[in-house]
Amino acid sequence: MMADHNISNNNIVLEVKNLYKRFGDNRVLNGFNLKLYQGENLVVMGKSGSGKSVMIKCLVGLMEADSGSISVMHHDITKLNQQALDVLRADIGFLFQGSALYDSMTVRENLEFPLRRHSRKNKAKLDTETQVVAALESVGLAHAIDLMPAELSGGMKRRVALARTLILQPKIILYDEPTSGLDPITAKEIIILMQDVQKKYKTSSLIITHDVDCARVISDRILLLIDGVDYAVGTYKALSTSEDPKIKAFFKQ
């Protein structure tokens, strides 16, 4: 859990200010704001089509916003050159629904892949084997190192994908629907794992989910994306007991 003293402007690791994005007449983001503090788990919830994916695509540079600013570790990424951007991006890990494993590679090779691409991030100069094993151990899958993705269950695949993200020791992890498509028990295991990872690596996480249970368990704060803006931000307890009908709609089971 995040300590209250972390909520200060000095501890913002990611900040979105006044973000606008439209497609023709479809105004998807209409002055959206977000602050992610060091060490916290911020859950973003929004109805289907509310713009969660558009927001996250703007964050990772897959889509350009019409206006607004996005700062990572206090650097406005809309103003950085490519080289500076690459350095900063190495601090951000992603776990997207589409971040599939390479089917033709073993688990080990899947994990070696990002290490080769970001060799400068190997600060401790540990050998590849040590890093791969450590990352797999942190998701409880050291024994699966020589398996092929086809031999893994859905939950195991997601664990390996998380290990592949962790191997670069990101400061921020963006999760897009981390429990979607999993049965409730496996979903719970992934949530526990996300908590363990947060404790061990002291990462800050932005988590997009429809899963109210996941939001309840993992969030320090929840942000509701409604009508293109950050309509409400608060703890699960505060939001789930709100009398506002737009907020209530998210929490009735």
Give the binding range for ligand ATP (CB under 6 A) out of 35-43, 52-60, 77-85, 111-119: 52-60
Among 12, 16, 19, 28, binds ligand ATP (CB under 6 A): 28
One-character DSSP codes across 174-240: EEESTTTTS-HHHHHHHHHHHHHHHHHH--EEEEE-S-HHHHHHH-SEEEEEETTEEEEEE-HHHHH
Specify the residue, 149 or 228, whose C-beta has the smaller distance to ligand ATP. Answer: 228
| 190 lies in the binding site for ligand ATP (CB under 6 A) | no
**CB of 51 vs ligand ATP, minimal distance in Å:** 4
**Residues from 116 through 145 that contact ligand ATP (CB under 6 A):** none
CA separation for the pair 44, 222 (Å, rounded): 6
| 35 lies in the binding site for ligand ATP (CB under 6 A) | no
**CB of 39 vs ligand ATP, minimal distance in Å:** 26
| 10 lies in the binding site for ligand ATP (CB under 6 A) | no
Contact 175, 205 (CB under 8 A): yes
Phi, psi at residue 182, to the nearest 5°?
-105, 150
Specify the residue, 43 or 54, whose C-beta has the smaller distance to ligand ATP. Answer: 54
Amino acid symbol at 235 = T
Amino acid symbol at 239 = L
Give alpha helix (H) positions in the chain. Answer: 52-59, 82-89, 107-117, 128-138, 154-166, 184-201, 212-218, 236-240, 245-251
**Residues from 53 through 82 that contact ligand ATP (CB under 6 A):** 53-54
| 243 lies in the binding site for ligand ATP (CB under 6 A) | no
| 158 lies in the binding site for ligand ATP (CB under 6 A) | no
Sheet holding 12-23, edge to edge: 26-37, 12-23, 67-72, 75-76
Among 9, 10, 25, 48, binds ligand ATP (CB under 6 A): 48
| 209 lies in the binding site for ligand ATP (CB under 6 A) | no
Specify the residue, 113 or 231, whose C-beta has the smaller distance to ligand ATP. Answer: 231
In this structure, what is the dihedral angle of CA atoms 182, 62, 36, 159, given to the nearest 10 degrees? 30
- Contact footprint for ligand ATP (CB under 6 A): 23, 26, 28, 46, 48-54
